[in-house]
Chains A and B, each alone.
Chain A
Amino acid sequence: QKEVEQDPGPLSVPEGAIVSLNCTYSNSAFQYFMWYRQYSRKGPELLMYTYSSGNKEDGRFTAQVDKSSKYISLFIRDSQPSDSATYLCAMNDKAAGNKLTFGGGTRVLVKP
């Protein structure tokens, strides 16, 4: 079993819909949670960063963390075709020397 599980998709939604992404994890030592967006053949871009359980909002993006369930989510409101990309969740374990553990990524396609 992988430490971080993420549905690979593809997840196809119509423009304007809410995109819902999630990751589950098994390591209770993970403390910091991040979401990255990666366009094809480009480096990942940091979208959201959260530490504690709860919600964090930034523009059209909302990140949720539920440490008790070991479950994190990313919501994208009013999705645009430009949101079409692969979204990677990542988690940090201080005990592991601050290395990030990545999910496999979910490919999202927003259709105009």
Chain B
Amino acid sequence: GAVVSQHPSRVICKSGTSVKIECRSLDFQATTMFWYRQFPKQSLMLMATSNEGSKATYEQGVEKDKFLINHASLTLSTLTVTSAHPEDSSFYICSAKPGGVKLFFGSGTQLSVL
């Protein structure tokens, strides 16, 4: 299967700081990437669709200014959690499709805001 790399795997930050998470497609180009959020023992919640060279599409209820998405190249999308607060603590996962409908996921980032 296709490889999606996500970094960092874990980050701890102070309240009020910003955190950037990177998502890379290693062996394919991805014009579209997806960002999910997952709370403990719950399923994946789609936050936004990242589009290369254009603005991201956010799901209803997701704050655009809080979760900044940049998809500057065909292999890299970044999610920046701005002015993070404890309620932003969660597991964030990116995904991408090399073509067709199969979706491949990164390994996830556990964000803990103190």
The count of residues in chain B whose C-beta lies closer than 8 Å to any C-beta of chain A is 22
A24 within 8 A of B: no
Is A22 part of the binding interface, using a Cβ–Cβ cutoff of 8 Å? no
Partner of B43, one of A45, A46, A49, A104: A104
Q: How many A-B residue pairs have CB under 8 A?
A: 50
Within 8 Å by CB of A43, from B42, B43, B49, B108, lies B108
A82 in contact (CB, < 8 A): no
**Interface residue B46 (Cβ < 8 Å from any Cβ of A):** yes
27 contacts between A and B (CB under 8 A): A8-B41, A34-B101, A34-B102, A34-B103, A36-B105, A41-B110, A42-B108, A43-B4, A43-B93, A43-B95, A43-B105, A43-B107, A46-B1, A46-B102, A46-B103, A46-B104, A49-B102, A88-B43, A88-B44, A98-B101, A100-B46, A100-B101, A100-B103, A102-B43, A102-B44, A105-B42, A107-B41
Instruction: Determine if A61 is an interface residue (Cβ-Cβ < 8 Å).
Output: no
- Docked complex Cα distance between A87 and B87 (Å): 26
Interchain nearest-CB distance for B56 vs A (Å): 13
The reply to whether B101 and A92 form a contact with Cβ atoms under 8 Å apart is: yes
CB-defined contacts of A8 to chain B, threshold 8 Å: 41
Q: What per-residue 1/0 map shows which CB atoms of A39-65 lie under 8 Å from chain B? A: 001111110010000000000000000
List, in ascending order, chain A residues with CB within 8 A of B102's CB. Answer: 34, 46, 49
Chain A positions 94 through 105: 1 when the CB is less than 8 Å from some CB of chain B, otherwise 0: 000111101111
- In the bound complex, residues from chain B placing their C-beta under 8 Å from that of A88 are 43-44
- Within 8 Å CB of B41, what residues of A? 8, 107
Q: CB of A32 within 8 A of chain B?
A: yes
Tell whether B91 is near chain A: CB-to-CB under 8 Å: yes
Q: Does B77 contact A (CB under 8 A)?
A: no
B76 to nearest A CB, angstroms?
A: 17
| A90 in contact (CB, < 8 A) | yes
